[in-house]
Amino acid sequence: MAKKKLQLGRSVATPDSPGSAVLDRVPNPQADTRYVARFTFPEFTSICPVTGQPDFGILIIDYVPDRWLVESKSLKLYLQSFRNHGAFHEDCTVAIGRRIADLLAPHWLRIAGYFNPRGGMPIDVFWQTGTPPEGVWLTDPGVALYRGRG
């Protein structure tokens, strides 16, 4: 069986949709240690499926890896693929969390989506795979509850 070629280190176009995006994983060289890895995506964009208007938010993904790490370039491309994707905030956030959890089978994963107001009301979405492992250091997501977020 041929080894799958990663997107890292080569030119790759932004996928047209989340369904066509490829997420790569790499072996965790510290698999014997429980630690938290965090990805912050401060310019997440998707499309409102009703109005067609753009929605903007901040995504924070924390996970405790087991055997695999998500490769960051593929994650960036995957998240960018939502720019022309019509879905509600809740759907985007949970779908991203599930896809990463399915790929990695981490000890634990959580995702927080902090979306800018539309119609005067922000929507914040939180999802996790279960209880975090004992003894890992979990920091606050670092995004203020809505008060202008500035």
Q: Please name the residues in contact with 142: beta carbons below 8 A apart, sequence gap of 6 or more.
A: 40, 60
Catalytic residue positions, numbered: 48, 55
Residues in the chain, total: 150
**Which DSSP string do the residues of 44-112 spell out, in sequence order?**
EEEE-TTT--EEEEEEEEEEE-SSEEE-HHHHHHHHHGGGG-B--HHHHHHHHHHHHHHHH--SEEEEE
- 121 exposure class (CB count in 10 Å sphere: 0-12, 13-18, 19+): exposed
